Chain A
Amino acid sequence: MKPILTLCLAFILLFGMTAVLAETHEPVTLTVWHTSIEDNRKAVFDDAIARFNQEYPYVTVNSIAIENDTYKTKLVTAMGSDDSPDLFHNWGGGWLDAFIQEGLVYNITDAVVNGGIADETSPSVRDLACYNGEYYGLPYVVTIAPIFYNKTIFEELGLEFPKTMSEMEKACDTLVANGYIPFALGNSPKWPGCLELIYRSMRYGGTELFSKVYNHEEGYTFENEAYIRAGQAIQESVKKNYYPVGCNGIANDAGGSRMLLYSNKAAMLMVTTSALAQIRNENPEWYASNLAVAPYPALDDKPETIHEIVGGGYVMSISESCKNKEEAVALLKYFCDAQSGKAWMDNASSLPPQSGVTSEDPPIAQTLDIINNATFSQNYFDQALRADLIELHKDTTQALFGLDMTPEEAARKMAERDAETK
């Protein structure tokens, strides 16, 4: 009896060991760079990594959060050297394209088409990092630029929130007449004002306009009439006091623009949906009692254009120099799945890239509504443009708001630089 037991034990031990041996992998390390420095946002990454580690226990993931302002500089330097991270946060568009052109980004088309890693991602945002049908990254958060407004002011003045652009003009005139600033614009960082230019040029020139200009199609340049008209409309709005005086010197991230809302001086604010989290953190009472979200108004004769929105997102990509691509792709899937998406929404008031998501929170629900009804989404120009045009676009648009440059001159500068460097 005893020898048999020993033998059995020995057998079990041996079997067990081979099983373990078969399961053992060389330890692998993956480095992830992102910009989620706040605890609640960083936790979403940590949670996804923990879930990933249950499936891949032999992988150590270094999640490194870098402050947004320095992130781009650091990544450019790192990608040019041998120290590039395995996975890195980006915004798709022309900026990522610059890295793709240099062969620095891993093509994940196969994993998207056959591997099913994007099955939970909504088709309307899946293509944020798709170039000529090839995928170089997946979105993990969606941001759009709707109009945030103080519904109490609108109710007091008996105003419906405008659905068309001429209704918007009337509403703005009413607001000005009643002593309100229609739009709380903090244009010191330059991008908030750009949103107005993007919406107007898209409404005037159609949804195809930007990609035609971007791809240098015959007869399409930044001197297109739509851009000039958008610039003219902006300057008229400035002259009619639709924006705060000196908006170009008012901070946005530091809160200058939102303080105009909280103090009842201004009625509306057009920025990206990152404002949802900012407002909820800064002033939860105001968030609960006054905040409402609406889409940018449509052209008067084309009501369906209300569903053409400006938006982008946070994309995660894998670098070509990553040595463990299989594990990196698996990790990417966890970052972009529905569970991470829900965590983004619940913990960080950020919008998930999955379709059919709902929320109990009215401003978030209104925003999700806009996303779910969207027929077209134009990426922000400062992400979508080729890198060498980004700063010029921001500088010239800011100059439009300051009445320091004519729309024709701004358009000409863009077209000239574009022709110079294409």
Chain B
Amino acid sequence: MVTNSQKLLYKKKYDPKEQRMAFLFVFPALAVYGLYNAFCVFMTFFYSFHKWTGISQKMDFIGIQNYINAFQDQGLMLALRNNIILVVVSLGVQIPLGMVLALLLASIGRGSKFFRTVYFMPMLLSTVATGLLWTYLYDPYFGLINAVLNLIGLSSWATAWLGQTKTALGAVLVVICWQYTPQYMVLLRAGMAGIPEDIYEAAALDGAIGVRRFFMITLPLLSGTIKTCATLSLVGSLKYFDLIYVMTKGGPGNATDVMATYMYKRGFVEFNMGYGSSLAIFMLMVSLILTTIFRTATRRDYSGLEAAK
């Protein structure tokens, strides 16, 4: 049975006047988004069915040939593999590490502002500066990393970090984690601040303290934030470009190429915009599929926890 107040609420919710008003407010953003995002994605999709240099008036429709080539492209598959490694490392390192830092910040109390600022700094540096800084740190002859290794008697570990196929990807991954962990630290710290103190108090009465408190209260109540972080990290890792471009340009050989750097090379540098567009659509599809899988897989857990809340 529908009560009057519910009716009123119902009616109010769909008031056409207000809806029009709402649309008016949303419209500018929607127009910008539509023109610069949605339309461009559509155009990329359109280009991906053509053989087109990017500077030419001439555009030949070639159907799905670009996509057939893409699936047979070893370079792309290598880039995809690197992207997946990047995803795994980002999810497995950045978020847990962000969590540890956030917990440390929460437990410090006084002076936590200072540490928060310090830990957040990598995020504030421009990517080019970060890339150059780490290129110097990794330098086989003058770099700080090898110098420290030599100093502590681990000279045999000292190597050309960015110069070898074996170590280059790992070396770049460390820098990416260094740069992005603070972002998750801040997000998780904010999420922790949102957990009401009385829950902790009640839990304490029931004997949940220390590690137990973290696993029984903090972690479940943070699951929404964690999920947001994970989605951000997943999508961010799949479209990653800048640090790799600055530090290795995808090298040595193709060892550190990811899909975005590979697309850039094939599309812009080689005047092959049609193929580049098909690679961009491929990236979009991979991101969509993985994000959907991820969201579906985590949905049940999440709703259960919501109910618990």
Contacts and interface: CB of A to CB of B under 8 A. Distances in A.
Given A260-B141, A390-B270, A391-B269, A398 B252 contact: yes
A76 B271 contact: yes
B140 interface: yes
A366 interface: no
B164 A249 contact: yes
Contacts of A190: 249, 251
Contacts of A248: 160, 162-164, 251-252
Range class of the B interface residue count: 35 or more
Given A249-B162, A249-B164, A80 B140 contact: no
B159 A246 contact: yes
Nearest to B55: A80
Interface string A369-391: 00000000000000000011111
Contacts of A345: none
B140 A72 contact: no
B116 interface: no
B269 A249 contact: no
A7 interface: no
Interface in A380-420: 387-391, 395-396, 398-399, 401-402, 404-405
A245 interface: yes
Nearest to B246: A69
Nearest to B253: A399
Given A98-B271, A391-B270, A259 B142 contact: yes
B163 A246 contact: yes
Contact of B136 (A80, A254, A402): A254
A380 B91 CA distance: 43
Interface string A19-34: 0000000000000000
B248 interface: yes
B161 interface: yes
A291 to B, nearest CB: 20
B138 A249 contact: yes
Interface in A249-268: 249-251, 254, 256, 259-260, 263, 265
Interface residues of A, number: 41
A99 B256 CA distance: 30
B167 to A, nearest CB: 9
Contact of A98 (B53, B142, B160, B250): B53
A79 interface: yes
B165 interface: yes
B141 A72 contact: no
Contacts of A246: 140, 159-164
A95 to B, nearest CB: 9
B160 A395 contact: no
A412 to B, nearest CB: 13
B213 to A, nearest CB: 45
A259 B141 CA distance: 9
Interface in A79-121: 79-80, 98-99, 102, 104
B268 A73 contact: yes
Contacts, number: 122
Contact of A247 (B163, B249, B265, B271): B163
A122 interface: no
Contacts of B54: 76-77, 80
Interface string B195-216: 0000000000000000000000
Contact of B163 (A72, A102, A249): A249
Nearest to A69: B245
A38 to B, nearest CB: 17
A250 B253 contact: no
Contact of A72 (B57, B162, B269): B269
B232 interface: no
B249 A405 contact: no
Contacts of B56: 80, 102
B163 A402 contact: yes
A260 B143 CA distance: 12
B264 to A, nearest CB: 8
A363 interface: no
A188 interface: yes
Nearest to A265: B141
Given A76-B268, A248-B252, A249-B168, A102 B53 contact: yes
B67 to A, nearest CB: 17
B237 to A, nearest CB: 22
A99 B55 contact: yes
A189 interface: yes
Contacts of A395: 250-251, 253-254
Contact of B57 (A102, A265, A390, A396): A102
A247 B132 CA distance: 16
17 contacts: A76-B271, A188-B248, A244-B140, A248-B160, A249-B139, A249-B160, A249-B168, A250-B139, A250-B141, A256-B141, A256-B142, A387-B270, A388-B271, A391-B269, A395-B253, A396-B253, A404-B255
Given A249-B248, A251-B132, A404-B252, 13 more contacts: A188-B249, A246-B161, A249-B140, A250-B163, A256-B141, A256-B142, A260-B141, A388-B270, A391-B265, A391-B266, A391-B270, A399-B253, A404-B253
Interface of A: 72-73, 76-77, 79-80, 98-99, 102, 104, 187-190, 244-251, 254, 256, 259-260, 263, 265, 387-391, 395-396, 398-399, 401-402, 404-405
The 10 closest A-B pairs by CB, nearest first: A246-B160, A249-B163, A246-B163, A249-B162, A399-B253, A248-B252, A388-B270, A248-B163, A246-B140, A80-B55
